Structure 1
C-alpha cells in the first residue's frame, strides 16, 4: 500500500510516499526505510522501484522530496540548500517515527548520490538510527571539484557568483543545469551525465515538476561539503554501494571515507554513477541492499521494548 503524505518542514511541506507492507496482524511492526534522492532528483526518478522491493520484503518505506523540489513546497523553486536538505532529513525521520504502523527504533536511512552524503551526515548525528545505506554517495566536494573539467569549473563558478549577487539583491536565481554535456555549464558535466541522469526521468517525473536545473549558488556549498568525513562517527551498520567508474563522486575518495566507519560494509560495482538505477546493475545493487537489511534489521525481529 502506498499513501501520499505531507510532512511540515519549517514553513514548507514535504511531499512523500509512505509504503506499508502487507503483513499478517500478528507480525511484528516493520522497520521503516527513509529515502531521498540526489542533486535535483525527485521521488519519481526510480525511488519507487527501490521502495517497492523493500516493501515486498516486509519493510515500510518513506520516500520524500526535498523542499523546493518536486511536489514539495518552497520558493524559489530548484533551490538546493545543504542545510535545509539536512533539516528535511531530520523532519522526515521524526515523521516516520511518529507513524504507529512502523517501529520507531528501527529506522534505516537510504540515500543516493548527493542524498548518499546526507545519510552519512544524518547517521552520524542521529545515534538512534538503526542502519544506513549510502548508494553511489557524494562524500567529498573537493574530490568532485578536482575531477571536474576545468572549462566547466570556470563556467559554473561564474554563474554561481552571479547567483549569489542576485540573491543579495532580491532578484530571481541564476540557474545552472544539473546534468549537461561534457564542457558545459552543468553540475554534472560528464560524458555519461545527460544520458544517465535523464534516463531516470519519465513522463510521471516531468508531470511531478522535474526540472534539470538548480540555483547556481549551491556550487560554493558543494565544493566545501565533505560529508564523508563524518563516516567515522556513524556507529550503526552502514553499507556503501560504490561505482568503480563513478564520474561524479570519485570512488577513490569515497572508499577512503567509507573505511573510517566502525561498522562499514562495502560493495563495489564495475559501473558508472548513473548505471545502477536500471537494468541488471539495479538488480544486483538492490539484492545487496536487501541482504544487508535482512542480516542487520530483520523484519522478523519483535518490536523493541522501549517503542
Structure 2
C-alpha cells in the first residue's frame, strides 16, 4: 500500500518442468564409495554414467556441520564415462562422522550444474555403515585435529570470503550444500534472536553469515538470518553506509529493498549479497537464495540502482 504495508491477498500454484540437459548422465546416476582404507581413513568416490559432453566433474566433500572443512575435488576420468576422486580425511581436518558428497558437472560454457549427491560415514570404530545408499567402513588412528584458527588481520581475508562465496555458485535450495549451510548456521550458539533456521526459510543472510563464519570472520559482520536486523548490527559495528548511490568495493555487503526503486532507498531490507567486483559502472554480486530458483547466483546492478538499500564494509 502507499504506507508500504504489505498485505497477503491470495495465491495459486503452478508446475515448472526442466528439460534434461545434453550433458546430464546418459544412464542412471551412480555414486559409490570404494577402496576404503581402515588404517588411514582414505576412500575413493566413483561416478559412473557421465555423458561425453561434460568438460569437468567436480565433487565437493565435507563433514556434516563442518562447512569450513569443505574441499572441492576435480574428478579424474577413468574411461567409459566414469570419474574418480580420492578423499583424504586429513584434508577435512580428520573429522569423523557423516560426510556429504555432491556431484556437479561443468559444461563447455563453464556453467556448473548440480547433478545429485549422497552421504557416507567416516567412523573411528571400523563398523560398516550405510547412509544415503552408500556404504563404507573407515577408521582413523588419531583424534580429529583442531580447526585452524584464522584471523581477520590476514591479508587474504577478503579474497577468502569472495572465493568461498564463488565456490558455491549454483547451489540450490534443498541440495545437500544448502542444508549444510543451514546446519552450520544453527551450529553456533547462542542463535541470533534465539531462532533456529529451517531448511524451508529464506536463506540469503544465512548464506552471507555462514560464508564469513566458515572463514573464521564472523566478528567482522556479526551473525543474523534477517537482513533488516543485520543492518542494525552493521550500524553498531560502524561499517554501515546508508547511501545506496555510492560505489562499493569488492568484499562489501550489499542489501536491497525490492519495494522501492529509487534513491535514497530507506525501506525495509529484503535481501543481501556479497560484492564480488565493481567495474565499468556495474556492481557484480554473489547472492544466496537468489531469484525464483532460490540458488546461489551471480547478479549485476548499475551503481546507484534504485533497489539498493545500502552497504556494509567489513574491516578486513
TM-score above 0.5, yes or no: no
Of Structure 1 and Structure 2, the greater helix share is in 1
Q: TM-score, normalised by structure 1?
A: 0.28
Q: TM-score, normalised by structure 2?
A: 0.27
**RCO greater where, 1 or 2, for CA within 8 Å and sep 6 or more?**
1
